[in-house]
């Protein structure tokens, strides 16, 4: 006969070991859809992804407060049946920006990016850490079976309603916890997990694989959905082809600190660190604590002492008491008082570090490094063997029964030992919907380095707002950073850069990009403006002309009355019919003596006439990279503001009119301080709003925050610039500067970082999206074009351009690069120019 026993084998498979059963409902947490899972043990689970504040930016007091606030949220999980899994998953980061997504038009732009790509790859493997929390609640027993069955089968309305009330209570509690954790005191940025993301997270914890898992239309048999893998148990378990090692704690330091394990999830390899906490109600907690207390009280004396006491009328000799055991008993008494106070909640704590890899040698080395870290932090770590499978299963979200290692601990210790801070990695994609190219969001602007093998993807944008501020002292790297941002901006499709420079620090880059460099009011410059020449182009130009002429009068101290405003209007209307439309021409049409005199300052016979009183404009804005050098304009003595303001007003108007939605970066280095006039605040604010809508961003730069002290521009900067970059400043903590940095939102620890940072290397990103100290790590090729401001170097660039034409950067690299790398980069530059058809 056929032996069919082997086909009816009922040995357990992986799905039998997994807890998820069905997705019973979807609710809304923090305004976002959130999955609710019903597990096979009768519990409900919900989860969210979070990112915490930057550890490096937190003072010791701040991180203590962070743990305390997290504890204040967790103590609300009372009444028994609650559990939480807080998990940090460290996994390989994506590679550098794909070359196919770049739209560089200049060989030098490509050259700079290729050097940055090479540096990124030479740094070795990069990793990012993501953080999750899953809350589970063991539902009341009376509703567990009947209610779930009624809910699934849509029968027995009363039982179904009871179960729905249980779900509502659960989701309301989770929503409350999320609200507290996202408050300003904690500062977590929380994204609730919907059906797909909940299953993806569980599957990643199980297998280490990061691919998405989509919930089926009828989301049942979840254990089979995520458990279709081969698990090999034993002392050294495997899942599919991945060897698994589970490190757990068998010993703890006498006290915990909130930052003692934060660096664990920044180790330079993939890992998963999970802390599980099974919350006890007050009665059960006091019972467990009393058992500990009685145990230690009984252990104070030896058997001889007890025998002697029995023979001596029950009197134990106090001198013989073990003081260490007495201290443990006293600690238990203190714990009982804490449990009764309600300030902490006690529960069973489990911490596990999960490592996976195909190669046993690699895996064993990672186990060694992880254990070294834990042991040096005051813990006693243990590589699980006989308990490996149970410990692994106990680390999975919603699993609360597995793993016997679960010492009693209170929620503040749990908050100390759980992941709560993060290294902000920036966004891989530009967050602005206006920056779409080729049907998807554009890549990040540029990459930078930070600690622990973590890459940083830098974007100016927060949402669709990309205006920024760069502030730092001379020599700290401001000009080089502005040039780098301009060079990297050209990766975007149809990108345009318009720079207002001071000191010719962008001359080399502009010329290398084949751009247009204007030296306004320079000795050899033939640039002249005719701001009134375009009034026949429509009502917008007429309105601009009237407002611009009025601003000239105001700058000369004239308070323009309605009658004088009408006179200006009439003069512009009359000018439209004339052949000449210069300031001299409009002056001749004005009858008002005050207006005539005021505007005469800007006419041909005035001090500003040579720049602003042309009949035909020589300004050409067709280039994709334009730089306006303003140093000579700003050095025009006491009249600098009288000339600079109308010049910038006109240039900004021309720029605004040319914007067509193409990504446009506008940088203003120092010159913007000339606009700190009450009259222009509304105009500046309006410009920033208009430019935002037209996909243009403005980056202001200053070498002194004191320029902003008391300036009416300060509120505009605070409101309109979500991204601020602060440069190293050894004087940041001085009595003068500390209040300025504090006004921008920096705390004492962040100011200390600025004092301790290295000029031209470190930059502190202070954004609404996050905070982080980074290094943009400009190599010799990049610095050959972004770090050129010495007058002698600028002169040499001009000479090479005159000799070699468009290919002058090749000769420049020969002179600037160190010998070991010179030949290879010069040959590559030649190749790019040949490819570009130069």
Q: Is the confidence at residue 298, as pLDDT, over 60? A: no
Instruction: Report whether pLDDT(51) > 60.
Output: yes
Residue 794: closest CA among 528, 517, 505? 505
Dig out the tokens for 389 from the structure. Answer: 């499978």
Q: Are the CB atoms for 135 and 177 separated by under 8 Å?
A: yes
More reliable by pLDDT, 715 or 540:
540
- Tell me, what's the pLDDT at 127? 94
Beta bridge partner(s), residue 441: 436
**Which is higher by pLDDT, 291 or 167?**
167
Contact call for residues 341 and 282 (beta carbons, < 8 A): no
Q: Return d(Cα 314, Cα 183) in angstroms, integer.
A: 57
Average pLDDT for residues 476-482, to the nearest whole number? Answer: 95
Mean pLDDT of 362-373: 97
- Does residue 203 contact residue 213 with C-beta atoms inside 8 Å? yes
Q: What is the enclosing helix (H) or strand (E) of 645?
A: helix 640-658
Average pLDDT estimate for 200-213: 96
d(CA 339, CA 342): 6
Reported as a pLDDT band with limits 50, 70 and 90, residue 678 is low
Residue 189, strand partner residues:
51
Q: How far apart are CA 196 and CA 175, in angstroms?
A: 19
The string of DSSP codes covering 178-198 is HHHHTSTTT--EEEE--HHHH
Q: Is residue 366 pLDDT above 70, yes or no?
A: yes
Question: What's the CA gap between 112 and 695, in Å, rounded?
Answer: 24
How far is the C-alpha of 137 from the C-alpha of 84, rounded, in Å?
Answer: 9
**Is the confidence at residue 285, as pLDDT, over 90?**
no
Which ranges of 503-635 does DSSP label H, i.e. alpha helix? 507-512, 539-555, 562-576, 583-589, 593-600, 609-612, 631-634
**The pLDDT of residue 710:** 74
Q: What tens digit of pLDDT does each residue of 101-143 get?
A: 999 999 999 999 999 999 999 988 899 999 999 999 998 765 4
More confident position, 568 or 317: 568
In this predicted structure, what is the pLDDT of residue 775? Answer: 96
How many Å apart are CA 596 and CA 586, to the nearest integer?
9
pLDDT for 724: 96
Compute and round to an integer the Cα radius of gyration of the chain: 34
Confidence tier at 283 by pLDDT (50, 70, 90): confident
Cβ neighbors of 72 (< 8 A, separation 6 or more) are 180
Task: Give the list of residues 6+ apart from residue 559 with CB closer than 8 angstroms, or none.
Answer: none
Neighbours of 158 (CB within 10 A): 9
Spatial CB neighbours of 739, under 8 Å, sequence gap ≥ 6: none
Range 204-228 burial, b when 16+ CB lie within 10 A, else e: bbbbbeeeebebeeebeebbebbbe
CA dist 796 and 790 (Å) reads 10
Angle between helices 678-693 and 640-658 (to 10 degrees): 20
In 678-722, where does DSSP find H-type helix? 678-693, 713-720
Q: What is the pLDDT of residues 572-611, one digit of tens each?
A: 988 887 777 889 998 888 888 899 988 988 988 666 888 8
Scanning 195-322, the segments in alpha helix (DSSP H) are: 195-207, 222-226, 282-298, 303-311
pLDDT band at 308, cuts 50/70/90?
Answer: low
The C-alpha atoms of residue 259 and residue 492 are separated, in whole angstroms, by 40
8 Å CB contact between 299 and 326: no
- Across the range 66-93, mean pLDDT stands at 92
CB–CB of 464/432 below 8 Å?
yes
Predicted confidence band of residue 296 (pLDDT cuts 50, 70, 90): low
Beta carbons of 353 and 272 less than 8 angstroms apart: yes
What is the band of 1 on the pLDDT scale with cuts at 50, 70, 90? very low
User: What percentage of the chain reaches a pLDDT higher than 90?
Assistant: 64
The helix (run of H) or strand (run of E) holding residue 696 is: strand 696-702
The predicted pLDDT at position 536 comes to: 85
- Phi/psi for 351 (5° steps) reads -125, 135
pLDDT at residue 165 greater than cutoff 90: no
Of 335-349, 714-728, 749-763, the one with minimum mean pLDDT is 335-349
> Which pLDDT value is given to residue 458?
97
Q: What is the pLDDT of residue 434?
A: 92
- State pLDDT tens for residues 384-418: 999 999 999 999 999 999 998 999 888 899 999 99
- For the chain, the distance separating the N- and C-terminal CA atoms, rounded to the nearest angstrom, is 85
Look at the chain and count its residues: 838
Q: 3-class secondary structure for 314-373?
A: CCCCHHHCCHHHHHHHHHHHHHHHHHHHCCCCEEEEEEEEEEEECCHHHHHHHHHHHHHH
Query: How far apart are the C-alpha atoms of 793 and 798, rounded to whole Å?
Result: 9
* pLDDT band with cut points at 50, 70 and 90 for residue 223: very high
Q: In this structure, how many other beta carbons lie within 10 angstroms of the beta carbon of residue 820? A: 8
Q: Which pLDDT band holds residue 265 (cuts at 50, 70, 90)?
A: confident
For residue 7, what pLDDT is reported?
Answer: 53
Res 2 pLDDT > 80: no
What confidence score (pLDDT) does residue 792 get?
Answer: 96
Share the mean pLDDT of the chain. 88
Task: Give pLDDT tens digits for 420-467.
Answer: 999 999 999 999 999 988 888 999 999 999 987 899 999 999 999 999
DSSP 669: E
pLDDT at 793 over 90: yes
Note the pLDDT of residue 400.
94
pLDDT score, position 636: 65
3-state secondary structure 61-122: HHHHHHHHHHHHHHCCCCCCCEEEEEEEEEEECCCCCCHHHCCCCCHHHHHHHHHHHHHHHH
How do the residues of the chain divide into helix, strand and coil, expressed in percent and rounded to 5? 45, 20, 35
Single out the residue of 203, 170, 183, 168 nearest to residue 50, CA to CA. 183
Helix (H, G, I), strand (E, B) or coil at 836: helix
């Amino acid at each position: 006969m056929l032996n069919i026993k082997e086909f009816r084998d009922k040995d357990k498979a992986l799905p039998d070991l997994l807890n998820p059963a069905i997705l019973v409902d979807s609710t809304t947490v923090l305004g976002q859809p959130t999955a609710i899972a019903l597990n096979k043990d009768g519990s409900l689970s919900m989860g969210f992804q979070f990112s915490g504040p930057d550890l490096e930016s937190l003072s010791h007091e701040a991180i203590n407060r962070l743990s305390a606030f997290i504890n204040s949220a967790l103590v609300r999980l009372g009444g028994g049946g609650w559990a939480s899994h807080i998990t940090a998953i460290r996994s390989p980061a994506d590679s550098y920006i794909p070359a196919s997504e770049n739209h560089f038009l200049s060989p030098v732009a490509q050259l700079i990016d290729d050097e940055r790509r090479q540096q990124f790859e030479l740094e070795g493997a990069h990793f990012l850490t993501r953080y999750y929390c899953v809350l589970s609640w063991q539902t009341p027993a009376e509703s567990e079976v009947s209610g779930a069955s009624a809910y699934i089968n849509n029968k027995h309305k009363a039982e179904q309603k009871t179960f729905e009330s249980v779900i509502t209570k659960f989701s309301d509690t989770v929503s409350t916890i999320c609200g507290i954790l996202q408050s300003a005191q904690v500062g977590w940025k929380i994204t609730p997990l919907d059906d797909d993301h909940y299953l993806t997270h569980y599957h990643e914890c199980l297998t280490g694989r990061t691919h998405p898992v989509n919930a089926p239309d009828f989301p049942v048999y979840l254990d089979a959905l995520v458990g279709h893998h081969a698990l090999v148990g034993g002392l050294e378990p495997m899942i599919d082809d991945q060897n698994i090692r589970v490190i757990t704690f068998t010993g703890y330091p006498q006290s915990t600190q909130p930052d003692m394990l934060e660096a664990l999830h920044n180790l330079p390899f993939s890992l998963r660190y999970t802390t599980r906490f099974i919350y006890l109600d007050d009665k059960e907690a006091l019972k467990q604590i009393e058992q500990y207390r009685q145990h230690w009280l009984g252990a104070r004396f030896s058997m001889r002492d007890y025998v002697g006491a029995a023979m001596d009328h029950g009197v134990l000799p106090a001198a013989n008491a073990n003081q260490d055991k007495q201290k443990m008993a006293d600690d238990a008494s203190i714990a009982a008082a804490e449990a009764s106070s309600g300030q902490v909640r006690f529960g069973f704590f489990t911490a596990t570090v999960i490592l996976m890899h195909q190669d046993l040698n690699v895996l064993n080395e990672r186990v060694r490094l992880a254990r070294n870290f834990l042991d040096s932090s005051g813990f006693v770590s243990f590589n699980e063997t006989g308990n490996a499978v149970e410990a692994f299963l106990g680390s999975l979200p919603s699993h609360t029964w597995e793993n016997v290692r679960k010492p009693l601990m209170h929620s503040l210790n749990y908050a100390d030992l759980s992941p709560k801070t993060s290294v902000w990695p920036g966004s891989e994609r530009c967050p602005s919907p206006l920056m779409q190219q080729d049907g998807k969001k554009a890549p990040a602007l540029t990459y930078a380095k930070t600690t622990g093998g973590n890459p940083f993807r830098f974007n100016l944008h927060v949402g669709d707002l990309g205006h920024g501020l760069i502030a730092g002292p001379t020599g700290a790297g401001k000009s080089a950073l502005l040039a780098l941002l301009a060079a990297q901006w050209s990766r975007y499709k149809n990108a345009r850069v318009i720079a207002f420079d001071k000191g010719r620090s962008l001359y080399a880059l502009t010329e290398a990009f084949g751009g247009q460099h204007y030296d306004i009011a320079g000795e050899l410059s033939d640039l002249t403006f005719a701001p009134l020449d375009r009034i026949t182009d429509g009502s917008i130009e007429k309105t601009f002309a009237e407002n611009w002429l009025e601003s000239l009068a105001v700058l000369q101290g004239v308070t323009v009355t309605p009658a004088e405003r009408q006179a200006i209007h009439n003069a512009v209307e009359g000018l439209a019919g004339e052949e000449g439309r210069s300031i001299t021409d409009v002056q001749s049409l004005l009858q008002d003596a005050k207006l005539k005199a005021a505007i005469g300052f800007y006419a041909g016979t005035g001090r500003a006439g040579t720049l602003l009183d042309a009949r035909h404009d020589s300004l050409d804005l067709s280039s994709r990279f334009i730089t306006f050098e303003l140093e000579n304009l700003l050095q025009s003595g006491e009249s600098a503001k009288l000339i600079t303001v109308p010049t910038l007003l006109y240039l900004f108007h021309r720029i605004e009119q040319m914007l067509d939605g193409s990504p446009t970066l506008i940088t203003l280095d120092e010159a913007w301080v000339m606009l700190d006039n009450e009259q222009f605040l509304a105009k500046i604010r309006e410009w920033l709003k208009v430019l935002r809508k037209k996909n243009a961003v403005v980056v202001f730069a200053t070498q002194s925050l004191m320029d902003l002290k008391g300036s009416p521009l300060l509120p505009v900067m605070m409101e309109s610039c979500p991204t601020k970059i602060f440069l190293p400043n050894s004087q940041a903590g001085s009595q003068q500067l500390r209040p300025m940095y504090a006004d921008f939102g920096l705390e004492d620890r962040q100011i200390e970082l600025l004092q301790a940072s290295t000029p031209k290397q470190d930059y502190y990103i202070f954004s609404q999206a996050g905070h982080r100290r980074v290094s943009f790590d400009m190599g010799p090729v990049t610095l050959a074009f972004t770090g050129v401001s010495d007058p002698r170097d600028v002169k040499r660039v001009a000479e090479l351009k005159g000799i070699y034409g468009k290919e002058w950067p090749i000769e420049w690299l020969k002179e600037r690069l160190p010998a070991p790398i010179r030949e290879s980069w010069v040959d590559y530059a030649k190749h790019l120019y040949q490819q570009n058809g130069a």
